[in-house]
């Protein structure tokens, strides 16, 4: 019976994949290629791209003199049956993604402690379906107002990516044993059946969220093709994707014989759990890199600082035995976690008049001074902590930049991150061999060296003082 079911499953897969007019061999070979992330710009054309075939493969079906456009337009599209089947298979494949597999493995082993395995698996599945339904409704909502988006739209939001960075970091910290969550199967809290099933439902939603950075074969093809169809088709495809994703865990929970296949938890689980924490932390680092590519290296650095303080918070809490003191110190340290995040600048720069900025050049500096310009030169480097502190506190605040724009001050940055003899000569001119160095030139060319620790008022007062002399 099992062999018959397996044979029927694969027969359906390959019959749907190779049969005409559902999809052709050329399209299947394209689908099996590693898919790129779906984006706002490409989703609307995905269905055509997936179903297109090369002219060489269908040359016999093209009229003499017919162009490539006619060949593509006559190519068969994926049928709804194929889309749903591909979504289902793609959902199953999601379970082996590096960002998902460690979590699923831990959940399956934890089934040993669940009292109502079948109900637990069912409610986990309902949670997964609810999560994918929310994503489907968001896409349908945007589609109905004329905005074409696809799977991956959420990864274009730096705030969402930041949330994922911390989510994966917390999961990684948990797997390494830095903190423990009260769960129904660890015996550290007493729960009734309703609470256990609620936990299962919420776990399903969490598993759905964890899949958001992932894509894979079949899944991208299905989601790309369905975006040109109706709202109900989109919802059905996402639900089928969720069903495929939840199926392995559901089978492990429902089929009684799988309980014997699940290894008994023991000391070995500690090492395995810690090992599984590495791919989770790698995923967090990858998401942090994506976040940095959107908001810049400064924003990425602030998140790293925040994550470091988060790890410090868990360490403090686990090190202090007196729980009241531990909670108090942990709450204080959470302020160090939150503050760097509050200083991150999201979004595009304002389309306002910007500072006149130049990279350091002695010839350019001489030119500006010959033109009787006001010039502010600052020598800095990426490895200079004092420099970066001054730039954050004194140089970039709106009060400073607005005043410089008003006074028509040209700003010149001497970046000494790498070895630069010309910048060294500039430093030696003012009897300095290190950084930071801040020099203001008034229209007469008179140079004023500012202190190494700056505030906005120091910069503004220096410019005003030279103006009235």
Predicted confidence band at 116 (pLDDT cuts at 50, 70, 90)? confident
Averaged pLDDT of the chain: 77
Whether residue 389 lies inside any domain: the answer is yes
CATH number at residue 462: 3.40.30.10
Mean pLDDT within 171-175: 87
Question: What is 306-360 written as a DSSP string?
Answer: HHHHHHHHHHHHHH-SSHHHHHHHHHHHHHHHHHHHHT---SPPPSSPPPEEEE-
pLDDT number for residue 150: 65
Which residue segment(s) compose the domain that 100 sits in?
83-270
- Which 3-state string (H, E, C) describes 103-157? HHHHHHHHHHHCCCHHHHHHHHHHHHHHHHHHHHHHHHHHHHCCCCCCCCHHHHC
**What distances in angstroms separate CA 124 from CA 128, 175, 359, one per listed residue?**
6, 21, 57
Return the SS3 of 38: coil
| 364 within a domain of the structure (yes/no) | yes
Considering the domain architecture, whether residues 66 and 201 belong to the same structural domain is answered as no
Boundary residue ending a domain (62, 80, 98): 80
Phi and psi, residue 414, nearest 5°: -100, 95
**What pLDDT does 196 receive?**
78
| Chain position carrying tokens 């729980």 | 323
Q: Report if residue 162 sits inside a domain.
A: yes
Q: What would the two tokens of residue 351 be?
A: 């389309």
Residue 311, pLDDT above cutoff 70: yes
CA–CA distances in Å: residue 60 to residues 52, 55, 66, 130: 16, 9, 11, 47
Phi, psi of 373 (to 5 degrees): -90, 155
* Closest CA relative to residue 50, chosen from 97, 90, 11: 90
The pLDDT of residue 226 is 84
Structure tokens, 226: 């369905």
- pLDDT of the residue at 327: 83
Q: Which residues pair with 356 in a beta bridge?
A: 410
pLDDT given at position 223: 81
Distance of alpha carbon 195 from alpha carbon 177, whole angstroms: 24
DSSP 383-409: T-HHHHHHIIIIISSHHHHHHHHHTTE
Task: Please indicate, yes or no, whether residues 170 and 248 belong to a single structural domain of this protein.
Answer: yes
CA distance 431 to 426: 9
For tokens 């490539």, name the residue: 68
* Domain shared by 375 and 258, yes or no: no
What is the predicted pLDDT for the residue at 243?
Answer: 95
Of 34, 52, 80, the one marking the end of a domain is: 80
Higher pLDDT, 281 or 265: 281
Q: Does residue 67 form part of some domain?
A: yes
Q: Check whether residue 43 and residue 99 sit in a common domain.
A: no
Asked if 230 contacts 156 with a C-beta cutoff of 8 angstroms, the reply is: no
Shared-domain flag, residues 369 and 400: yes
Q: Do both 112 and 259 map to the same domain? A: yes
Whether pTM > 0.75 for this model: the answer is no
* Same domain, residue pair 64 and 198: no
My answer on whether 94 and 204 are in the same domain is yes
Q: Per residue, what are the HEC states of 354-389? A: CCEEEECCHHHHHHHHHCCCEEEEEEECCCCHHHHH
- Tell me the C-alpha distance between 246 and 396, whole Å: 49
Could you tell me if 173 and 35 lie in one domain? no
- Within this chain, do residues 52 and 164 fall inside the same structural domain, yes or no? no
For residue 173, pLDDT beyond 80: yes
pLDDT in tens, 53-108: 333 333 333 333 333 333 333 334 678 889 999 999 999 988 888 778 777 777 77
307 lies in a domain? no
pLDDT above 60: residue 447: yes
- Residue 463 in any domain: the answer is yes
Nearest to 246 by CA among 40, 100, 136, 349: 100
pLDDT value at residue 183 = 55
**Domain final position from 45, 61, 80:** 80
% of the chain at pLDDT higher than 90: 26
Number of domains in the chain: 3
Q: Are residues 16 and 143 in the same domain?
A: no
Instruction: Please tell me the predicted confidence (pLDDT) of residue 458.
Output: 93
Residues 50 and 95 reside in one and the same domain:
no
pLDDT 10s digits, 416-440: 988 888 999 999 898 887 889 999 9
For residue 353, CA distances in Å to 344, 356, 358, 406 come to: 22, 9, 15, 10
Answer yes or no: is 416 within a domain.
yes
Is residue 130 very low, low, confident or very high in pLDDT (cuts 50, 70, 90)?
Answer: very high
Is 69 a domain residue? yes
């Amino acid at each position: 019976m099992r062999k018959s079911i397996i044979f029927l499953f694969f027969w359906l897969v390959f019959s749907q994949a190779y049969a005409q007019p559902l999809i052709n061999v050329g399209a299947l070979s394209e689908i099996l290629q590693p898919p790129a992330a779906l984006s706002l710009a490409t989703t609307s054309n995905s269905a055509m791209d997936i179903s297109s075939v090369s002219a060489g493969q269908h040359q016999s079906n093209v009229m003499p003199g017919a162009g490539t456009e006619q060949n593509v337009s006559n190519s068969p599209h994926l049928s709804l049956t194929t889309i749903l089947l591909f979504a289902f298979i793609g959902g199953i494949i999601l379970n082996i993604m590096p960002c998902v597999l460690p979590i699923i493995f831990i959940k399956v082993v934890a089934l040993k402690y669940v009292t109502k395995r079948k109900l637990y698996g069912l409610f986990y599945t309902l949670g997964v379906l609810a999560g994918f339904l929310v994503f489907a409704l968001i896409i349908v909502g945007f589609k109905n107002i004329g905005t074409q988006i696809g799977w991956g739209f959420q990864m274009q939001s730096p705030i969402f990516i930041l949330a994922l960075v911390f989510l994966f970091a917390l999961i990684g910290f948990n797997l390494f044993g830095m903190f423990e969550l009260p769960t129904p199967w660890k015996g550290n809290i007493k729960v009734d059946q309703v609470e256990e099933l609620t936990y299962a439902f919420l776990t399903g939603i969490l598993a759905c969220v964890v899949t958001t950075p992932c894509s894979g074969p079949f899944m991208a093809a299905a989601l790309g093709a369905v975006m040109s169809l109706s709202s109900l088709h989109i919802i059905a495809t996402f639900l089928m994707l969720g069903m495929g994703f939840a199926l392995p865990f559901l089978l492990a929970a429902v089929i009684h014989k799988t309980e014997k296949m699940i290894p008994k938890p023991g000391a070995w689980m500690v090492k395995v759990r810690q090992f599984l924490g590495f791919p989770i932390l790698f995923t967090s680092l990858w998401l942090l890199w994506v976040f940095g590519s959107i908001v810049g290296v400064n924003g990425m650095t602030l998140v790293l600082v925040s994550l470091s303080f988060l790890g410090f918070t868990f360490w403090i809490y686990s090190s202090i035995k007196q729980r009241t003191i531990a909670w108090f110190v942990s709450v204080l340290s959470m302020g160090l976690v939150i503050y760097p995040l509050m200083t991150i600048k999201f979004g595009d720069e304002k389309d306002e008049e910007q500072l006149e900025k130049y990279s350091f050049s002695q010839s350019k500096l001489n030119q500006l001074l010959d033109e009787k310009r006001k010039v502010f030169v600052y020598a800095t480097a990426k490895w200079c902590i004092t420099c970066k502190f001054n730039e954050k506190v004194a140089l970039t605040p709106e009060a400073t930049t607005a005043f410089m724009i008003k006074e028509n001050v040209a700003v010149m940055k001497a970046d000494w991150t790498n070895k630069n003899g010309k910048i060294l000569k500039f430093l030696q001119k003012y009897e300095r061999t290190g950084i930071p160095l801040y020099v203001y030139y008034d229209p007469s060319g008179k140079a004023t060296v500012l202190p190494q620790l700056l505030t906005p008022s120091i910069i503004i007062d220096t410019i005003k003082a030279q103006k009235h002399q």
